[in-house]
Amino acid sequence: MKSDSPFPKLPSLGELLNHPTVARVVKRVNQTTIAQRATGFLEELQTSILQRADGGSVPSLGQLAERLARRLLGPAEFSTPCVNASGVLLGDRWPALPLAEAAVDELVRITTEYLAQDPTLAERATAALVESTGAESAWISHSFAVAEKTAQSVGGKVVVSRYAGLLNPGDFGLAHFETIPRRLEEADMVVVDGAGLLGGPPCGIVLGKRVKIDECIRHAPVDECSANDLTLAGLWATMNIYQSGDRVIHHLPLWQLLTTPLGNLEQRAQRLATLLAASKRVASAQPTQCTSVWCESEAVRLADASWAIVIQPAEESGEDLARAFEEATPRVISRQQQVKQQSNELWLDLRGVFPRWDQHLVAACDS
Question: Given a cut of 60, is residue 354 above it in pLDDT?
Answer: yes
* The model's pTM: 0.81
Residues 333, 323 contacting (CB under 8 angstroms): no
| Rounded-to-5 percentages of helix, strand, coil across the chain | 45, 15, 35
CA distances from 344 to 4, 16, 286 (A): 46, 41, 14
Question: Given a cut of 90, is residue 46 above it in pLDDT?
Answer: no
pLDDT digit string (tens) for 301-349? 999 999 999 999 998 888 889 989 998 888 999 997 543 445 689 999 9
| Closest of 345, 53, 300 to residue 165, by C-alpha | 300
Instruction: Give a three-class secondary structure readout of 237-301.
Output: HHHHHHHHCCCHHHHCHHHHHHCCCHHHHHHHHHHHHHHHHCCCCEEEEEEEEEEEEEEECCCCE
pLDDT digit string (tens) for 95-152? 899 999 889 888 888 887 787 777 889 999 999 999 999 999 999 999 999 999 999 9
The domains located in the chain, with CATH, are 13-73 (no CATH), 82-96+256-365 (3.90.1150.180), 101-251 (3.40.640.10)
Q: Which residue has the higher pLDDT, 74 or 315?
A: 315
Q: Tell me how far apart the alpha carbons of residues 120 and 117 are, in angstroms, rounded to a whole number.
A: 9
Question: In this predicted structure, what is the pLDDT of residue 193?
Answer: 98
Angle between helices 101-111 and 229-244 (to 10 degrees): 140
Q: Tell me how far apart the alpha carbons of residues 366 and 200 are, in angstroms, rounded to a whole number.
A: 35
H/E run at residue 349 = strand 346-349
Question: How many other β-carbons are positioned within 10 Å of the β-carbon of residue 113?
Answer: 8
Q: Tell me how far apart the alpha carbons of residues 202 and 194 are, in angstroms, rounded to a whole number.
A: 5
Residues 90, 295 contacting (CB under 8 angstroms): yes
The mean per-residue pLDDT over the stretch 214-240 comes to 90
Question: In this predicted structure, what is the pLDDT of residue 328?
Answer: 87
> 140 in helix, strand or coil?
strand
Angle between helices 61-73 and 358-365 (to 10 degrees): 70
Angle in degrees, CA 156, 176, 303, rounded to 5: 115
| Closest of 308, 306, 326, 324 to residue 316, by C-alpha | 324
Say how far residue 335 (Cα) sits from the centre of its chain: 16
Angle in degrees, CA 229, 99, 217, rounded to 5: 35
Per the rule left: phi > 0, alpha: psi between -120 and 50, beta: everything else, 16 is: alpha
The span from the first CA to the last CA of the chain, in angstroms, equals: 40
Of the ranges 27-31, 85-89, 187-191, 217-221, which one carries the lowest mean pLDDT score? Answer: 27-31
